[in-house]
Amino acid sequence: MTSLIIRAKELLENKTVQVVIGYEAGPTGVARPAFITDPAKAESLIYDERCVQNLAVYLTKREVKNIGKMAIVATLPVMRSIMMLISEQQLFADNIVVLGISADGKLLDIADNKVMQGYIEKSDLSNPEKYKGLLTEFNKLSPEEKFLYWQKELSKCIKCYACRQACPMCYCTRCTVEVNQPQWIPVKANTHGNMEWHILRAMHLAGRCISCGECGRACPVGIPCHLLTMHLTDQVYNYFKVYAGTSEKMSSVLSTYEPNDKESFII
């Protein structure tokens, strides 16, 4: 995508930013995150349908932040993640340059956060089409069937926490699962503990999940754990008529979380 490469080069050359976070193609052809610091290397940036990872997760990673001011290739979910991170005071709007990408893959001119907000507001913020089918199917199940479905899926979970690590909203330095006084969630990966972990994760993301699907994509054993948080996105919208990640000043709808809350409505 030449316009993107030109823009990235420019930003690095005139030292507006020290790093451009975008995508490159790996040796097997998979698109993966790239951190371009040298304008001469901007050529390796790509943008096409393979570029699905939500890059916003890197905006809070220490070693990336250490490089300096960041520009980020941002599809809608990335922009919404940025809004969430700003509203939760994890990010200063002034510190990043957003290289917005439209739904049809064009470079957008996102001059500032107002423009970004405008773009987000006029976009469709409901769960992406590709997940809607499954969500609808899932909603047709009886509570018992839902329970059985998740029991089967989550019995595969190995607690590698790729889902958590890949999610831009899971930025806590010490996740509740790692708190041992008291031990809310058992360390080991057994079906019961896995269910508790996913209930906790879903609860912490209710009203904050911006429906990028990254958690499910990251899971090495193919658990569609994004359906849990996306289901909650639908629920929150039904009750409160809001979607996450639409403005800098959003206060979270569900801002108090109790890790040991058993919220049966998820499953």
Partner 1 sequence: MSDSIYKPYLMEIEQIVEETPDVRTYRLKFKNAEEAEKFSFKAGQFGEYSVLGEGESTFCVASSPTRQGYIECTFRKAGRVTNALANLELGDTVGFRGPYGNTFPIEEWEGKNLLYIAGGIALPPMRCVIWNTIDLRNKYKDITIVYGARSVSDLVYKHELKEWEDRPDIKLITTVDPGGQTPDWKGEIGFVPMVLEKAAPSSENTVAILCGPPVMIKFTMPVLKKLGFKDKDIYTTLENRMKCGFGKCGRCNVGKVFVCKDGPVFSYEQILTLPEEY
Partner 2 sequence: METTRKLIRKQSLEKLYNILSTTRKVYAPVIASDKQVEYKYNPAFTDVTFDHIRSTLSVKNVVFPKVENLFYYTNKQTESTITDIDLNKIQDVVLWGAHPCDNAAFDTLRSIFCWDITDEFFAKRLEKLVVIGFSCHLSDEYCFCTSVGLTPNSTKGSDILLSRLKNGDYHAEILTEKGNAIVSISPELFESVTNEEAEITSVKQKFNHEQVTAKLATAFENPFWVANSLRCIGCGACAYVCPTCACFDIQDEASGKEGKRYRSWDSCGFGLFTLHTSGHNPRNVQSQRWRQRIMHKFSYMPERNNSLGCVGCGRCSSGCPVDMNIAEQLEALQNI
User: Closest CB to ligand SF4 among 70 and 212?
Assistant: 212
226 binds ligand SF4 (CB under 6 A): yes
The whole-angstrom separation of Cα 243 and Cα 122 is: 12
The whole-angstrom separation of Cα 257 and Cα 24 is: 38
181 touches, from partner 2, ligand SF4, partner 1, none (C-beta below 5 to 8 Å by class)? partner 1
232 binds ligand SF4 (CB under 6 A): no
Q: Give one word for 169, left, alpha or beta, with left for phi > 0 and alpha for psi -120 to 50.
A: alpha
The whole-angstrom separation of Cα 100 and Cα 72 is: 8
User: Closest CB to partner 2 among 20 and 120?
Assistant: 20
**Structure token digits, residue 124:** 């469709």
Rounded least distance, CB 250 to ligand SF4, Å: 14
171 binds partner 2 (CB under 8 A): no
User: Closest CB to partner 1 among 16 and 183?
Assistant: 183
69 binds partner 2 (CB under 8 A): no
Residues 6 or more apart whose CB falls under 8 angstroms from that of 69 comprise 16, 17, 18, 19, 95, 96, 97
**Could you say which of 183, 190, 260, 264 contacts partner 1 (CB under 8 A)?**
183
159 binds partner 2 (CB under 8 A): yes
**Could you say which of 210, 227, 250, 266 contacts ligand SF4 (CB under 6 A)?**
210
Residues 6 or more apart whose CB falls under 8 angstroms from that of 192 comprise 186
180 binds partner 1 (CB under 8 A): yes
Contact at 8 Å (CB) between 177 and 199?
no
Radius of gyration of the chain (CA): 19
In the complex, the residues that contact ligand SF4 under the rule CB under 6 A are 54, 157-163, 166-167, 169, 205, 209-215, 218-219, 221, 223, 225-226, 229
In the complex, the residues that contact partner 1 under the rule CB under 8 A are 180-181, 183
